[in-house]
């Protein structure tokens, strides 16, 4: 029946005249005419302003005014709920359900390591580095449905999310990007057009060092042996057998990690990428090499 409909549609396309402005019309009820004031009968006369008083004369007091009584927004005392809100680090949430959706639709390739750049290229998340966003965090929503083997790198991940990914044979890493590196990571093309050398990624500030050196959070600065132990512990806690990734065909891909000072896979700090010449320029001076490899 579907095939029949498609054939009929193609026949119509062949026989009917060309689609022009003369043949098109908006659907019934989609465009409602606006009420133009002051043009008689119902749009006119008092023009929707009421009868006399402040309402008709446009002299009503400001929003929140209660006729002289201390208004609600002044009665309630101030409290530091929003103190320093512009200095707080924010992480855009990424649910496992959304990640599964992106992989199923082919917007994110599970055969390559998944990075913040990959997620943004697939329009999976929108990160605004200028609004105190420090990256992406993995959220548990969809943990029961998740079934994809991936190598993903995010900035924060909750325990259940890590368990759900490792149960399917994947790998999670949490790493830190300072705001400048994050901007470069989110919009690489814009950065390359500037012609500046790729800067080195800065190490996390004091309060985050503990987070990223902890194996439980799969931090990028943690000890790999401790990470292995943490994987086993998590498997015991959540009651699944940890699949052996060394025997996997994609083991090479699953074990690729970025250097703590590296922003892009395959590009080292100090290199200049020229998009117009399609070349990469590497520094040769000793001092520069020493600086960028520190």
Partner 1 sequence: MRACSCFSDRLTISYCRSSGPGGQNVNKVNTKAEVRFHLASADWIPEDVRQKMALMHRKRINRAGELIVNSEESRYQMRNLAICLEKIRGLVTEATERPKVVSKETSQQLIERVEKMNRERLRQKRIHSSVKQSRKADFD
- Using CB under 8 A, which of the segments 86-94, 125-133, 138-146, 265-273 binds partner 1? 138-146
Cβ contacts of 269-274, under 8 Å, gap ≥ 24: 269/197, 269/198, 269/199, 269/200, 269/201, 270/197, 270/198, 270/200, 271/197, 271/198, 272/195, 272/196, 272/197, 272/198, 273/192, 273/198, 274/192, 274/195
Residues 218-257 that bind partner 1 (CB under 8 A): 235-241
Q: CB 171 → partner 1: shortest distance, Å? A: 18
The DSSP bridge partners found for residue 80 are none
CA pair distance 148, 205, nearest whole angstrom: 33
Q: Total number of residues binding partner 1 (CB under 8 A)?
A: 14
CA pair distance 155, 161, nearest whole angstrom: 13
- Is 153 strand, coil or helix? strand
Closer to partner 1 by Cβ: residue 192 or 240: 240
Q: CB 148 → partner 1: shortest distance, Å? A: 15
Q: Does 123 bind partner 1 (CB under 8 A)?
A: no
Closer to partner 1 by Cβ: residue 147 or 255: 147
Question: In the block, which residue shows the tokens 């002289």?
Answer: 68
Q: Does 140 bind partner 1 (CB under 8 A)?
A: yes
Closer to partner 1 by Cβ: residue 143 or 182: 143
Closer to partner 1 by Cβ: residue 133 or 140: 140
Q: Does 167 bind partner 1 (CB under 8 A)?
A: yes
Closer to partner 1 by Cβ: residue 106 or 239: 239
Of 154, 152, 150, 153, give the one whose Cα is nearest residue 169.
Answer: 150
Q: Does 101 bind partner 1 (CB under 8 A)?
A: no
Closer to partner 1 by Cβ: residue 167 or 231: 167
Q: How far is C-alpha 157 from the geometric centre of its chain's CA atoms?
A: 14
CA pair distance 226, 213, nearest whole angstrom: 10
Q: CB 233 → partner 1: shortest distance, Å? A: 8
Residues within the interface to partner 1 (CB under 8 A): 140, 143-144, 160, 163-164, 167, 235-241
């Amino acid at each position: 029946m579907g095939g029949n409909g498609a054939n009929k549609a193609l026949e119509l396309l062949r026989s009917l005249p060309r689609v022009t402005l003369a043949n098109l019309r908006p659907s019934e009820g989609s465009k409602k005419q606006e009420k133009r004031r002051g043009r008689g009968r119902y749009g006119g006369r008092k023009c929707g302003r009421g009868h006399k008083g402040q309402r008709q004369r446009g002299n009503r007091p400001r929003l929140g005014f209660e006729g002289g009584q201390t208004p609600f927004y002044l009665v309630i005392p101030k409290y530091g709920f929003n103190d320093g809100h512009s200095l707080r680090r924010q992480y855009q949430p990424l649910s496992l359900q959304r990640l599964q959706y992106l992989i199923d639709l082919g917007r994110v390739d599970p055969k390559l390591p998944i990075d913040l750049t990959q997620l943004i290229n697939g329009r999976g998340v929108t990160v605004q580095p200028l609004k105190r966003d420090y990256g992406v965090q993995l959220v548990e929503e969809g943990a029961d449905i998740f079934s994809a083997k991936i190598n993903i790198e995010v900035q924060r991940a909750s325990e259940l999310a890590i368990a759900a990914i490792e149960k399917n044979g994947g790998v999670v890493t949490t790493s830190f990007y300072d705001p400048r590196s994050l901007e470069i990571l989110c919009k690489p093309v814009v950065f390359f057009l500037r012609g500046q050398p790729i800067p080195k990624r800065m190490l996390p500030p004091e309060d985050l060092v503990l987070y990223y050196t902890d194996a439980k959070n799969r931090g990028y600065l943690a000890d790999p042996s401790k990470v292995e132990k943490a994987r086993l512990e998590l498997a015991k806690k959540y009651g699944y057998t940890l699949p052996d990734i060394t025997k996997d065909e994609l083991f090479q891909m699953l074990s690729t990690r970025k250097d703590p000072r590296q922003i892009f896979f395959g590009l080292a700090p100090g290199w200049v990428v020229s998009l117009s010449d399609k070349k990469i320029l590497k520094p040769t001076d000793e001092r520069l090499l020493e600086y960028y490899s520190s």
